[in-house]
Homo-oligomer: A and B are copies of this chain.
Amino acid sequence: MAKQQDICEIKSVDQAKVKAVKKAMLSDKDVYGLSETFGVLSDTTRLKIIYALSKEELCVCDIAGILGSSISAVSHQLRILRNMRLVKFRKEAKRVYYSLDDAHINKLFNEGLKHVRE
């Protein structure tokens, strides 16, 4: 007993099916990439930031104003988007202006929106 709940002991499993699907399974790299990509898009703050930046280039304070959240919270999320190269920025005097750097993410975003709205 001990570990009856552990990894499936394969007693009455369709071995042929399992082998076939296992062989066709996505690579770890693909799976990890997918979870990362969809993960950025799974937070409401980040979604709003991406949507706002798809409309216009904005400074951090503008974004915070639009979202109604703190500058710090926005800045933390912008760092995540920066690290994933989804946004780029330019400095102008005291301000930092952000804009979308990845057109593809917009396509994914809109595909998601279609799914949600239908």
A: residues with CB less than 8 A from B are 5-8, 10-14, 17-18, 20-22, 24-26, 30-35, 37-39, 41-44, 47-48, 51-52, 55-56, 58-59, 61-62, 64-66, 68-72, 104-105, 107-109, 111-118
Contacts and interface: CB of A to CB of B under 8 A. Distances in A.
B21 A52 contact: yes
Given A44-B31, A104-B118, A112 B37 contact: yes
Contacts of A37: 112, 115-116
A105 B116 contact: no
23 contacts: A5-B70, A5-B72, A7-B68, A11-B61, A12-B61, A13-B59, A13-B62, A14-B62, A17-B56, A18-B66, A21-B52, A21-B56, A22-B65, A25-B48, A25-B51, A26-B113, A30-B113, A30-B116, A33-B117, A34-B113, A35-B44, A42-B42, A107-B115
